[in-house]
Amino acid sequence: METFFSDAKLWRDGPYPHFLVLLREHPAYQAYARAHRDLLEQHPLGVIPGEWLHATIQGIHHRVSAGQLDELKAAARDELREMEPFSVQIGPVWPGVTAVTAAVYPEDGMTELNRRVRRAAARIPGIAMRPAESRFWAHSTLAYAREEFDDRRLNRALRALRPARVDITIDRVHLVNLHQDPAAGYYTWGVLEEFRLGA
């Protein structure tokens, strides 16, 4: 694996607003993450504590004014109020290039969340987003690589571990100010607004 918080990925003037699903609110997923912790801590990884587990829906990678944030909250509230809660299954877990992630299936609900918050952000003058992916990647990260290392032993151990996948219902999204914490090896945040789906 390669280091996640490389110089190219470090934010020069963050924190930045992001839309997240906060997975600290789901006991079944918390238990699933804990089942991997002992293994992950044997490797040079920034293992994410339970309170900071999340799935990213959309990031805005520049500073946003207070006025723009107010407009973004109103636009997101408008976009999300007509979307109903949905269920997903999380797992399995595998190492990628820079992080160990858990898959989220089916992807339809998460993709729709991404589409709606991107549409909300696009309504606000001065807010710019990175180009949309050709296919939204729904996932939750369990750990970020803190240095380059050979992940073959980790890969084999994750395949052998394979705890049962978990089912959760997603009924809310949060707009947060996301902070990079390279020393700890993961992200933290302060909540700006909660959006309940269908509310």
Q: What ranges do the domains of the chain cover?
A: 7-196
CA distances from 172 to 72, 85, 97, 153 (A): 16, 7, 30, 37
The predicted pLDDT at position 166 comes to 98
Name the CATH superfamily, with its identifier, for domain 7-196. Cyclic phosphodiesterase (3.90.1140.10)
The span from the CA of 20 to the CA of 114, in Å, is: 10
Residue 35 neighbours by CB under 8 Å, 6+ apart: 161, 163
Q: What is the pLDDT of residue 12?
A: 86
CA angle in degrees (0–180, nearest 5) for 60-16-10: 100
- pLDDT (tens, 9 = 90+) of the chain, 199 residues, equals 999 999 989 998 889 999 999 999 899 999 999 999 999 999 999 999 999 999 999 999 999 999 999 999 999 999 999 999 999 999 999 999 999 999 999 999 999 999 999 999 999 999 999 998 889 999 999 999 999 999 999 999 999 999 999 999 999 999 999 999 999 999 999 999 999 998 7
Give the integer Cα–Cα distance in Å for 134 and 162.
Answer: 29
- Among 139, 189, 136, smallest CA distance to 18 is for 189
pLDDT of residue 199: 75
Q: What was the pLDDT predicted at 158?
A: 97
pLDDT at residue number 147: 95
φ, ψ (nearest 5 deg) of residue 18: -140, 150
Q: Is the peptide bond before 44 cis (omega within 30 degrees of 0)?
A: no
